[in-house]
Amino acid sequence: MHYVLLSLLVVGALGGVPKLLRPRFHGRIVGGDTAKIEDYPYQLVLRRNDYFECGASILSENYAVTAAHCTDGASAEELSVRAGSSFVDSDGTIHQVTRIHQHPGFDINVLDGDISLLEVNPPFTLGSGVQPIALPDSDMKVPVGSSADVSGWGTTTEGGSLPEQLRHVVVQIADQEECNNAYGSITDNMICAGAPGKDSCQGDSGGPLVEDGKLVGIVSFGYGCAEPGYPGVYTRVTALRDWIKQEAGL
């Protein structure tokens, strides 16, 4: 890809050993299956200077949502999204980003508040492969152990090539305290999920984590991919729902 990954060194709670955490830019859905956009019509490809950058999700005809680390340092002119396609580099429609609403509380050092809203033009034309994802209620509880679906594009093996077709994997919501014990830096704006041999990874940054038809998480970061004891970390949408609705006029 066209630039070097950002690396974050944090001290893990297990033995105090420094762990290398990476925002999930370029990588893979681990242990998943191919998917069709008709089954994930909210899924978007976020492009920077016409190159694949991250995932994103449709919120309305005029707004999309992604991770703030995908937009940090970028101008709106550099960004666009592809909608309505199962494929990362073909089909569907292209929509220019006209304005970035990056969360004011975003902290690149710990990836807290890792969310940005994108205004697009032309607006999305809703249809069978283009639909907004529902937001959860702010008081919605996402039970530990419940299944959630995460989708995106990325290589399926370490060092492999980028697949053209969308992929997805079902993971389980992890206990917040156990996740914090692993990372030592989990805030109330984060939610964790994983399963043995299954995970989101760098190529899935900014993409959706969906439970019961609602957007509960946005792919943010993790230690490795599908590492035992280290679930993937997602932006918790319920914690930031009011900001989303205010900024996007929903």
Which residue of the set 86, 112, 114, 185 is catalytic?
114
SS3 call for 16? coil
Q: Which of 57, 85, 151, 205 is catalytic?
A: 205
CA pair distance 155, 158, nearest whole angstrom: 7
**In 3-state terms, what secondary structure has residue 218?**
strand
Annotated catalytic residue, options 26, 69, 101, 103: 69
Would you give the distance in Å from CA 70 to the centre of its chain?
Answer: 9
Residues facing 116 on adjacent strands: 66, 102
Collapsing DSSP states into helix, strand and coil, what is residue 84?
coil
Q: Is 69 designated active site? A: yes
Instruction: Measure the CA–CA gap between 150 and 195, rounded to whole angstroms.
Output: 12
Token reading at 240: 């930031």
Catalogue the active-site residues: 69, 114, 205
